[in-house]
Amino acid sequence: MAVKFSRSVVVVSEAGPEIRIRAICMNLPGVTEKLSHGSPAFFAGRQFLMLWIDGHHDNVFPHLWCAAPPGVQNELVTSEPDRFFRPPYVGGRGWIGVRLDGAVDWKEIEAVCEEAFRTVATKKLIASLDSRKS
């Protein structure tokens, strides 16, 4: 499996979910990774994503929890309950749970990770991300 970073593109071939999520998150400006509860967690000043590759509590499938803008959790959990769920602990703050089993749309996951980043990142980090895209 190969992970290659470029200015604003993450290329991952035949990688598992942990490697793919790490590549997506670490390509965002100013992101750091720390272990939290034995699993990878990603921060842009504040935490924006938690990865549970072996599942967590009653959710025994690979998934992630991530920050989301107000109202998004309810919209996704209601419209696509087979893919999105309200995670324990952080669900009350509007975070979403995203299943990573079955057929995963990695472009969508990349967008979800970016939106989670934008939800917690400083204006300076968001501007840095936006400047990469122009």
Q: Taking the domains of the chain in order of start, what are their residue ranges?
A: 2-133
**Residue 18 exposure: Cα atoms within 13 Å on the Cβ side:** 11
Note the pLDDT of residue 59.
58
The pLDDT of residue 19 is: 92
Q: Are 38 and 29 in contact (CB under 8 A)?
A: no
Query: What is 20-57 written as a DSSP string?
Result: HHHHHHHTSTT-EEEEETTEEEEEESEEEEEEETT-BT
Closest CA to 114 of 15, 4, 5, 23: 23
The β-bridge relationship of strands 10-13 and 2-5 is antiparallel
pLDDT for position 7: 47
In terms of CATH architecture, what is 2-133?
A: Alpha-Beta Complex (3.90)
Block means of pLDDT (10 residues each) for the chain, 134 residues, are 47 70 96 87 92 64 90 96 90 92 92 96 96 84
Quick one: pLDDT at residue 11?
A: 47
The pLDDT assigned to 112 comes to 95
Position 106 scores a pLDDT of 93
Give the C-alpha separation, 24 to 16, whole Å.
Answer: 12
| pTM for this prediction | 0.83
pLDDT attached to residue 57? 66
Whole-angstrom distance, CA of residue 3 vs CA of residue 90: 30
